[in-house]
Amino acid sequence: MTDRVVLAYSGGLDTSVAIGWIAERTGAEVVAVAVDVGQGGEDLDVIRQRALACGAVEAEVADARDEFADEYCLPALQAGALYMDRYPLVSAISRPVIVKHLVAAARQHGASVVAHGCTGKGNDQVRFEVGIQSLAPELSCIAPVRDLALTRDKAIEFAQAHELPIETTKNNPFSIDQNVWGRAVETGFLEDIWNAPTKDVYSYTEEPGQSPGPDEVVVAFERGVPVAVDGRRVTVLQAIEELNRRAGAQGVGRIDMVEDRLVGIKSREVYEAPGAIALLTAHEELENVTLERDLARFKRGVSQRWSELVYDGLWFSPLKRALDVFVAESQEHVTGEVRMTLHAGSAVVTGRRSATSLYDFSLATYDSGDTFDQSLAKGFVDIWGLPSKIAAGRDQRATRG
């Protein structure tokens, strides 16, 4: 039986050419697998037919939008995941769900190899291959761009020579990855970090300075899960999609940053994540109301480590799974509503309410009705500061001596 390779297929130039390129250089048959994580664009059946036209012996397409929202975006939201305090892991959280479908396809079709279109200097090669190794240690991986010398120039030449049904122009200078959680743009003139992004970089968001009047939105959560927008019940996917539309119209969620890649280099990335940023903002504020102080403080450290693990391709690692348990437990009382104003590039919280709130008006108020016993404060301050006072006395004695 001829060896088979399962290829993560996007429908673009590189992965379309990779079908024939892999077959020529390895002698294997190629099974193309495309996974819809809300990236929009072409119909999935069109992508499937293109893969077959480019030489795939079989082609599968998977509608994983709800799966992606429920099992990958939601954990990122509940973890408060922002790599380097800014990046909401747009690409990083999509790779594990794609890996899951690639492994399933490899087992179904009897393939021993999984291929992906990543380069040798990016993060995604790690995310794909470590993920595949974690779920199916028996599989091996190849990357045509990295391992089989498939450069973009060669891809264009190959597509033209074999008359493949794929656009072969060099007009688009950017490398773009997108899904329902956001959009990532890099390369081209953006590699000069002094160059400002131009309007054509953006697709999910409008220019913040040209946004319409303010848009007020109320998001309801139950145990950390967004369940309603302005009183209308929604799935997680629907919540993200609606806030992508409404926050995107206000220019919310634009991020231009130089980040630390796993491979050790710095990279300039431009992201758009209107729905993600709006939801993260609302969820964080509801946690401020409902999480006890020490739990909230500890969770901030967990959020950072969780984000680093996912960014570094360790979604399926034991530590990540253990942190997931902590995050899930922390959401027990994160129930309530958050009101935000979306306008001019910002999502600003203007109200919050929760039946599980730890905010006590009678303790917080400075007006009549205050139930906080201020007479206890002096003794508390003296005892709280006692270790510092003792240490200061020691230091003064040492200085005099």
CATH number at residue 111: 3.40.50.620
Q: In what order do the strands lie in the sheet with 266-272?
A: 175-179, 182-186, 266-272, 254-260
- Structural domain includes residue 299: no
pLDDT bracket for residue 172 (50, 70, 90): low
321 marked ligand binding residue = no
CATH of the domain at 386: 1.20.5
pLDDT bracket for residue 30 (50, 70, 90): very high
How many domains does the chain fold into? Answer: 3
pLDDT for residue 262 is more than 70: yes
Q: How far apart are CA 379 and CA 375, in angstroms?
A: 8
100 and 32 co-located in one domain: yes
Final residue belonging to a domain, choices 171, 192, 207: 171
Q: Parallel, antiparallel, or unpaired: how do β-strands 140-142 and 232-233 relate?
A: unpaired
Catalytic residues: 14, 95, 124, 175
- Structural domain includes residue 16: yes
225 and 150 co-located in one domain: no
167 and 216 co-located in one domain: no
Helices (H), 170-317: 236-249, 274-290, 293-311
139 and 227 co-located in one domain: no
Share of the chain above pLDDT 70, in %: 98
238 and 348 co-located in one domain: yes
pLDDT for residue 1 is more than 60: no
99 and 188 co-located in one domain: no
- Structural domain includes residue 60: yes
CA angle 24, 25, 31 (to 5 degrees): 65
Q: How far apart are CA 120 and CA 80, in angstroms?
A: 29
Final residue belonging to a domain, choices 155, 171, 187: 171
pLDDT for residue 171 is more than 70: no
Residues 35-55 have pLDDT tens digits of 999 998 778 889 999 999 999
Q: How far is CA 161 from CA 18, 132, 166, 382, in A?
A: 14, 33, 12, 82
103 and 26 co-located in one domain: yes
- Record the tokens describing residue 256, joined without a space: 């231009």
The predicted model gives 84-101 an average pLDDT of: 98
* Reported pTM: 0.93
14 marked ligand binding residue = yes
63 and 127 co-located in one domain: yes
- Structural domain includes residue 106: yes
| Residue 24 phi, psi (nearest 5) | -65, -40
249 and 118 co-located in one domain: no
13 marked ligand binding residue = yes
Q: How far apart are CA 244 and CA 253, in angstroms?
A: 9
| Residue 246 phi, psi (nearest 5) | -75, -45
127 marked ligand binding residue = yes
Give the range of the structural domain holding residue 382, as residue numbers without chain letter: 370-400
